[in-house]
Every structure is written in structure tokens, then in C-alpha cells.
């Protein structure tokens, strides 16, 4: 299923991003990975074919602006707020908003799929939860991280923006090929570059962080292309929820490759994610 490919791509991309962010800030990583993804789509799109109609390109641009703002606000929320709250709240909005949009579009999944979607939403929250640890305290210099009004607004804004980015991609025409993805990556790059300039993080990379950023660019293209095609072949609600399970891949890689300990809640979330995908696919 293409939605699972997208979830895996996003999850591995976030894993690489987490490794890179241990040496440089996350914004510096995406400042490089986003424009690189634009170049990749520019090379691939003509080979895939398709007609770049105006409506699809506008939907792609809207998705790019939304996803770029989502990344900006998400990093801003993590800078001052507790990850154990920011991450799951964002994740449930990313998954939940397209489900609501799909309902208003007339989508009616079967009863098993509906149960699977509900289970997946719970899984997203559990897998995304991270308890504060010594590393977090070290990064923040020991200052307390509170879920203030500003952090809450940034968190909700980020989750909503990600959710609407999914909806905007869904609205593109199948006949447009990957051209809407080019618009999406271009617009997202413009937003991310603006945020990096504002934050004073517009600087290049070298060494391992650069290699990781390029790998993230490749994974982002794979994930977004898979998601785009998945939207054209299945319901918005179903594809979005499965695609939102990407934190499970990140957590699994961190556990297997880095030996990181994961909480019982995250383990339960990963099991629920597998069950949810099976229920949705069986419908």
C-alpha cells in the first residue's frame, strides 16, 4: 500500500533528521534538504508524464505553504514546549483533520475501517509521546519547558497546517502526474528559507549533516510521491491516517539502530498501529 510507503519514508526521514539535529539545528537541515528535493522532482516529473493543470498546481502550492508553515511552527513549539505534549497533539491533528475533511467530502469507510482509523489515532498519540529526559534538559540548558499559550497556538497551528497539506494534495488531479509535487516542494522551500532567515539559521552544511540532509531530500520525495498517488487511489481519511503513523518507523529505527529505550506507551502504540493498518486494509 502506497500510504505505508509514505509513512515509512517520512519515518526514516525523521530518523535521519534526528541524527543530523544532534550536530546542527533542524532548520539548517531542511534548508538544504528541501531545495534538493525540488531538484529531484524536477528531474523525475518529466519522466512520469502528466499535464500540469492550473488547479492542481495551485493545490500543490497551497500544500507547500501549509507544510512549510507546519515545519516552522513545529520547531518553534519544540524550542519552548515539552516534546511529550507538543508531538502527540500535533500528530493527532495531522491524522484527525483529513478524517473530518473526508467525512464532509462524503467519504464513508466501512465499519471495520472506521474502527481501524480510531485505533490508528490512538496509536499515533502513543507512539509520538516522549517523556522529558536528561538529554532534553541538557539541550535546553536546564530551563523548564512549559506548554504556554504561545506553545499551544504553535502546536495546534502546526498540526492543522500539516493536516490541511494532506487535504490539498488530495485535491490534485491524477492526470497532473508529479507536477503538483514540484509546486509543493518549491513553495515549502520558500517558507522554510524565510523561517531560517528570520531565525538566523540560514547556513550551509558539510560532512555528515550534509549527507544526511541529502538523504532526507530523497526520502521526502519518495514519501510525498507515494502519498500523492495514494490519495488518487483511495479515500483521504484512510490514506491520511496510515500516512500519519510515520512516528512508528522513527521509534523502531531508534530502538534497533541506536539502542534507545522506548516507553511502554510507545510499544503499545506500535502494536496498535499494526492492528489498525490490518483493519483498514481488510475493509
Q: Can you give the pLDDT at residue 164?
A: 94
DSSP at 125: H
Q: Which of 18-32, 118-132, 168-182, 190-204 has the lowest mean pLDDT?
A: 118-132
Lowest-confidence range among 68-72, 85-89, 117-121, 179-183? 85-89
Q: Return the CA Rg of the chain.
A: 18
The alpha carbon of 173 is separated from its chain's Cα centroid by a whole number of angstroms, namely 22
Share of the chain above pLDDT 90, in %: 40
The model carries a pTM of 0.86
Stretch 154-170: mean pLDDT: 93
Residue 106 has pLDDT above 50, yes or no: yes
pLDDT band at 84; cut points 50, 70, 90? low
Q: How confident is the model at residue 256 (pLDDT cuts 50, 70, 90)?
A: confident
* Distances, alpha carbon 130 to alpha carbons 148, 173, 227, 241, in Å: 18, 38, 26, 20
- Report d(CA 211, CA 74) in Å as an integer: 23
Highest mean pLDDT (candidates 23-32, 85-94, 175-184): 175-184
C-alpha to C-alpha distances, 77 to 19, 64, 107, nearest whole angstrom:
19, 20, 33
Question: What's the pLDDT tens digit per position in 41-64?
Answer: 999 999 998 999 999 999 999 999
pLDDT at 37: 96
Q: What grid cell was written down for 96? A: 484527525
Q: d(Cα 220, Cα 14) in Å, to the nearest integer?
A: 10
Amino acid at each position: 500500500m502506497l500510504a505505508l510507503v509514505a509513512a515509512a519514508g517520512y519515518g526514516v526521514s525523521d530518523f535521519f533528521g534526528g541524527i543530523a539535529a544532534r550536530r546542527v539545528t533542524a532548520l539548517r537541515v531542511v534548508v538544504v534538504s528541501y531545495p534538493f528535493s525540488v531538484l529531484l522532482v524536477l528531474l523525475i516529473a518529466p519522466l512520469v508524464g502528466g499535464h500540469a493543470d492550473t488547479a492542481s498546481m495551485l493545490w500543490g502550492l497551497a500544500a507547500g505553504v501549509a507544510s512549510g508553515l507546519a515545519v516552522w511552527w513545529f520547531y518553534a513549539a519544540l524550542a519552548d514546549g515539552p516534546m511529550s505534549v507538543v508531538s502527540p497533539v500535533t500528530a493527532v491533528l495531522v491524522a484527525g483533520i483529513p478524517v473530518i475533511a473526508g467525512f464532509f467530502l462524503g467519504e464513508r469507510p466501512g465499519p471495520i475501517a472506521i474502527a481501524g482509523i480510531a485505533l490508528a489515532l490512538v496509536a499515533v498519540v502513543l507512539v509520538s509521546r516522549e517523556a522529558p529526559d536528561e538529554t532534553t534538559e541538557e539541550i535546553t540548558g536546564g530551563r523548564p519547558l512549559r506548554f504556554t499559550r504561545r506553545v499551544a497556538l504553535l502546536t495546534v497551528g502546526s498540526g492543522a497546517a500539516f493536516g490541511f497539506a494532506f487535504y490539498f494534495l488530495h485535491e490534485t488531479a491524477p492526470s497532473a502526474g508529479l507536477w503538483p509535487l514540484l509546486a509543493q516542494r518549491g513553495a515549502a522551500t520558500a517558507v522554510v528559507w524565510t523561517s531560517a532567515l528570520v531565525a538566523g539559521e540560514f547556513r550551509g552544511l558539510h560532512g555528515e549533516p550534509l549527507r544526511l540532509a541529502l538523504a532526507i531530500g530523497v526520502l521526502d520525495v519518495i514519501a510525498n510521491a507515494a502519498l500523492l498517488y495514494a490519495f488518487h487511489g483511495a479515500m483521504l481519511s484512510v490514506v491520511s491516517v496510515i500516512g500519519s503513523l510515520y512516528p512508528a518507523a522513527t521509534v523502531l529505527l531508534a530502538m534497533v539502530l541506536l539502542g534507545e529505550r522506548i516507553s511502554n506507551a510507545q510499544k503499545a502504540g506500535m502494536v496498535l498501529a499494526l492492528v489498525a493498518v490490518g483493519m483498514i486494509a481488510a475493509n
